[in-house]
């Protein structure tokens, strides 16, 4: 065996740039094992729904459903956004641990890596949405047509991609585990301002005009549109512009990332 040499011609490149289900499985298991992730993404939004969802006037009509349904969709959006942001921030944490560099010594294509991370973030977002919806169903107060439940859940899921990008961006700007310390309270504030927790009609004119420019406003209007049948044009502009800004910010920080870690 001593004369055996390694023959480069016999070596192959992995298909799909290294994209594979084993990694997806391990990444998902990782997220689900993390107690902090579970509490902030699955338990907290459901608990908020339990406390807000039964407030006075829950049975008032709202669009094609009732106020409880309106709150349910909002809480699902909050939970999914938080989850996606946490997933995005993990990219930066992994970089600070040198894991990204380790992965660059494998055939894994950066596009395949981002794609796998996005799928994990969306799956976790879907779990957060499902948790809120199941709690909402068990409460038995939210009422809306079945297709509205489904359509708003799917729309919410795609709205959360904005916050996955925000997570990556903040994760790069504030390295390490501190990113979530900023994202957690930050998203809660933005949710108050953007009308996720309290309808904008409750605010003064001044606050409301500021809210129209904040990143949670657009996505929350879009997520609730299947229920309310209302969607101001500037809400769509808001959602598109913030998505673009966060993706650009994340891409900018990632491309600046030449430091050897």
The yes or no reply on residue 240 touching other proteins (CB under 8 A) is: no
In this structure, the dihedral spanned by the alpha carbons of residues 76, 169, 99 and 82, taken in order and rounded to 10 degrees, is -10
Q: Among residues 215, 219, 212, which one has the least CA distance to residue 234?
A: 212
Build a one-symbol-per-residue string for 45-84: x at contacts with other proteins by CB under 8 A, - elsewhere.
----------------------------------------
Contact pattern for other proteins over residues 9 through 38, marking x by CB under 8 A = xxxxxxx--x-x-xx--x--xx--xx----
**Residue span binding other proteins (CB under 8 A) among the ranges 1-9, 145-153, 166-174, 197-205:** 1-9
Q: Which of 52, 99, 197, 213 binds other proteins (CB under 8 A)?
A: 99
Which H or E run contains 52? helix 44-52
CA atoms within 13 A on the CB side of 125: 28
Count interface residues toward other proteins (CB under 8 A): 37
Among 161, 160, 159, residue whose Cα is nearest residue 225: 159
By rule CB under 8 A, what string of x and - marks binding of each residue 106-125 to other proteins? xxx-----------------
User: Of 71, 196, 47, nearest to 143 (Cα)?
Assistant: 71
Residue 188's nearest CA partner among 62, 66, 85, 87 is: 85
Residues 6+ apart with CB under 8 A from 6: none
Cβ-based nearer residue to other proteins, 55 or 102: 102
Least Å distance, CB 104 to other proteins, is: 6
Binding stretches for other proteins (CB under 8 A): 1-2, 4-15, 18, 20, 22-23, 26, 29-30, 33-34, 94, 97-99, 101-108, 260-261
């Amino acid at each position: 065996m001593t004369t055996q040499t390694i023959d480069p011609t016999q070596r192959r490149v992995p298909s799909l740039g290294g994209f594979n289900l084993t990694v997806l499985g391990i990444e998902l298991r990782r997220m689900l094992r993390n107690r902090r992730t579970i509490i902030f993404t699955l338990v907290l939004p459901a608990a908020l729904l339990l406390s807000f969802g039964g407030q006075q006037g829950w049975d008032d009509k709202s669009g094609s459903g009732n106020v409880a349904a309106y709150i349910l969709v909002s809480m699902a959006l909050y939970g999914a956004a938080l989850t996606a942001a946490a997933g995005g921030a993990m990219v930066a944490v992994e970089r600070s641990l040198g894991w990204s560099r380790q992965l660059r010594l494998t055939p894994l294509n950066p596009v395949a890596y981002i794609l796998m991370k996005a799928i994990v973030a969306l799956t976790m977002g879907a779990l957060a949405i499902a948790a809120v919806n199941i709690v909402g169903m068990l409460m038995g107060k939210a009422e809306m047509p079945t297709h509205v439940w489904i359509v708003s859940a799917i729309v919410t899921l795609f709205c959360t991609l904005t916050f996955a990008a925000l997570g990556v961006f903040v994760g790069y700007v504030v390295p390490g585990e501190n990113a979530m310390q900023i994202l957690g309270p930050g998203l809660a504030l933005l949710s108050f301002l953007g009308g996720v927790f309290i309808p904008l009609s409750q605010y003064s004119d001044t606050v409301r005009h500021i809210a129209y420019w904040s990143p949670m406003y657009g996505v929350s209007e879009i997520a609730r549109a299947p229920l309310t049948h209302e969607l101001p044009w500037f809400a769509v502009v808001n959602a598109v512009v913030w998505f673009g800004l966060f993706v650009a910010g994340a891409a900018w920080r990632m491309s600046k990332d030449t430091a050897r870690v």
